[in-house]
Chain A
Amino acid sequence: MDDFLAARAQMGVSLGFHIIFACIGMVMPFFMAVAHYNWLRTGDVCYKNITRAWSRGVAIFFVTGAVSGTMLSFELGLLWPGFMKYAGPIIGMPFSLEGTAFFIEAIALGFYLYGWEKLNKWFHWYTGLLIGLSGLASGILVVSANAWMNSPTGFIYENGRFSHINPWKAMYNAAWIPEALHMILAAFVATGFAVAGVHAWMLYRRKNTDFHLKAFRIAVSFAAIAALLQPFSGDFAARSVAKLQPAKLAAMEGLFYTQSHAPLSMGGIWSATLPASGSDSIVYQLRYAIEIPDMLSILVHGKANAIVTGLDHIPKNEWPPVGVVHVAYQIMVALGILLFLLAIISLCGVWKYRKWMHKSWFLKWHIIAIPAGFLAIEAGWTVTEVGRQPWIIDHIMRTADAVTPMPGIVYTFYFFTWIYLMLSAMVIFLLYRQIKMVPVLYDVVPDKN
């Protein structure tokens, strides 16, 4: 592995782990705040126990999210100094505002975890909600920096120099809203179904039924509502990509020929075949895909006869790795559809047919869905990041030009991959222990205070 690939891989691994920790740390406080609210309103001690159990999860994920985020704020410079030298001042606003939001989150967490029986109970509840709100703000802001790499704006680029920098304009770039919306909903879907799935598992094993049933209902309600909204934000995001980054869209769909009445391809393998004889141009095509005629044109531009740009209009040296992007995109969409369907079943079970929550088929489906949302998030980020290649700033700077001159990155890549794997193993181990201890810690109903 050469250093450039190692640097990309290290960044990918760091982001890949951070996104999971950060999503859970961002979304779980909302579940916790709802459980806490129910306790304060109804006085049902079971809700207090759920709140406390979840608050430990929040603490664990906040710290892993915080340290992996600190790591990333340095890695931007450690791995991509050529990028940060110019991009730092342009995309500084989302980062500095995110710093503020992150700080508030840390303070709120201090109040919340240590404020039991010390603070006014509604102020205490509010600090719990504030963890979620400021975490959400951090997430939205930091996506703006990524969106800027996809739709760079707020500067003039001439002869290799950036001038007339407007950091506010850079922050409000065109890709921000679609990307942030899609990401936030995804965080709710993934975390909600993962948390709900764990509680479903415990229900399936007939443990602490009341505790897990109430916890399941809160988590799954968030997840299901977000999953039902997600296709709309996905459509919004895809239209934005079609407009801003036609090469990425073509790679996502595996579309080679620019055409009207473009079909929507599902599945399929991107292949390059050498010509039989004579001509020297390689033939690219998507094989074994199921095609829905006209659908891509309709989805992206609203008309069947609208023209969708294919890879044949993109210079070959500006193609992203099409195979990877296409597969990742198909995985994301497939998981999204499955979770959409599961969401309908979940809502029926929670709101209408409550008996379902005791049926093993219902619980099994939710157990299977534990990793689904996170797999979809990882696939989605693969589409965004690999799909932008070979650019680090779309059509301004190539990733290869931004990489650090320091050799030997491949060793730090192996080392930090190992660290992240160990860290994740530790987190899973701790969560396993938390769940195992639920009967001991929360089964005895303490006196109401």
Chain B
Amino acid sequence: MLSIVIIYLYLSLLLYMLLGGADFGAGILEMFTSSRNQPRTRRITYLAIGPVWEANHMWLIIFIVILFVGFPQIYTTLTTYLHIPLLLMLLGIILRGTAFIFRHYDAVRDRMQTVYNAIFVYSSFITPMILGMIAGAVISGNIDPNADHFPDLYLKPWLNVFCFMVGLFTVALCAFLAAVYLIGEAVTPYDQRRFVSKAIVSNILALLAGIGVFLTSHWAHFSLWQWIFGNLVGRFAIIAALISLGWLWYGCIKGKRKLLLRVLACFQVTMILLAVGYHHFPDFMVLHNGEHISLFIHRAPDTTIDALAWALLGGSLFILPFLIYLFYSFREPAQADMQ
């Protein structure tokens, strides 16, 4: 039963990255769109993600619930030592979610829209940035429960160059996912071309940021190179990601089918997460003193794990068909309930 819970844990994280991440990406793309084109992007984004965006962000809740029910010690270690970045991330989630709805449901269209738009795009950028920094702190082993001073305990683990690069990398990946998804949502060839070029630019930026992550990992005193390429699965995942990347670029330029492009983009992100996660598994995080926090050891008692697994399986029976039908129903750009 433990394996079911762990699969759901990683699956919800992956789906949050693929779906929620693309939602963030839509805001990031809007930020880097000329003011002339912004209304078009906004409209396409809204029609594409409007019906599904609430559901996309549920994966984070599922992830966090699995973590605190199944692996309470990991959850409380995170919430204690990464208190500040988690709060910042929550702030981003609050601002972004409400601004997205407010700008659509404000009955009067006036200058307030500028305020909503600004809040939406900035929080779309900052939230995945912080999310990436948290991920960087979890894997880099800088969390030090034995430290004495406030900065060492609560700031240093996440406020460093390496985590910053991981944050930028995450932002670029989100933008890349969103751009690839939106190619298929654009109706006019002009918009399609815009999103193709944005997909390519964000992909290049993601590559650069990825290289930056490797370079800065030395300053964080851990060898990411060894971590990723030190095992067969990691090497395979990175090679597969690179092959699919070439295929994706070819497909983008040739104007291939949108479904193929989306699958390839998701595949790349999945491979990246696999490469990062595999070396480490079953450990979830490393502490500064070298202690490895393992999912197999730091877990809830069996009775809880069993009950949680049944709840997840049972919940999936209700959620998944309904969710798939939602995506199916709105596979074509939706008609919003208000023009």
Contacts and interface: CB of A to CB of B under 8 A. Distances in A.
A106 B315 contact: no
A55 B337 contact: yes
A93 interface: yes
B68 A76 contact: yes
Which of A59, A62, A86 gathers most chain B CB within 10 Å?
A59
Contacts of A434: 105, 107
Contact of A107 (B154, B308, B314, B319): B319
B150 to A, nearest CB: 7
Contact of B94 (A82, A90, A113, A419): A419
A100 B315 contact: yes
Interface string A45-79: 00000001001100110111011111101101110
B253 interface: no
A24 to B, nearest CB: 14
Q: Is the interface of B mostly helix, strand, loop or mixed?
A: helix
A165 B301 contact: yes
A267 B10 CA distance: 54
B263 interface: no
Interface residues of A, number: 72
Contact of B97 (A67, A85, A90): A67
Given A74-B86, A88-B68, A88-B75, A97 B303 contact: no
B187 interface: no
A89 B70 CA distance: 6
Contacts of B291: none
B66 interface: yes
Contacts of A81: 76, 79-80
B231 interface: no
Interface stretch (A114-122, A176-184, A211-219, A331-339): A114-122
Nearest to B332: A118
Nearest to B71: A88
Contacts of A84: 68, 72, 75-76, 79
Interface in A75-134: 76-78, 81-82, 84-90, 92-93, 95-97, 99-100, 102-104, 106-111, 113-119
Given A70-B60, A97-B315, A100-B311, A110 B69 contact: no
Which of B51, B54, B326 gathers most chain A CB within 10 Å?
B54
Nearest to A62: B54
Interface stretch (A275-283, A389-397, A402-410): A402-410
Contact of A74 (B79, B308, B319): B79
Contacts of A436: 107-108
Q: Is the interface of A mostly helix, strand, loop or mixed?
A: helix
A89 B98 contact: no
B96 to A, nearest CB: 9
A63 B106 CA distance: 14
Contact of B300 (A88, A97, A100, A416): A88
Contacts of B61: 69-70, 73, 99, 102-103
Interface string A137-180: 00000000000000000000000000101111000000000000
B51 A73 contact: no
A412 interface: yes
Given A70-B61, A73-B61, A81-B76, A110 B106 contact: no
A447 B53 CA distance: 32
Interface string B68-108: 11101101101110010011001101100110111001111
Interface string A415-428: 01001000100100
14 contacts: A59-B105, A60-B105, A66-B97, A89-B70, A92-B65, A93-B308, A102-B61, A106-B55, A107-B319, A110-B53, A110-B55, A166-B303, A167-B304, A426-B98
Given A85-B72, A86-B72, 10 more contacts: A63-B101, A70-B93, A84-B76, A93-B307, A102-B61, A103-B323, A110-B51, A163-B301, A406-B80, A437-B107
Q: Which 5 A-B pairs have the closest CB atoms?
A: A92-B69, A77-B79, A89-B300, A100-B315, A88-B72
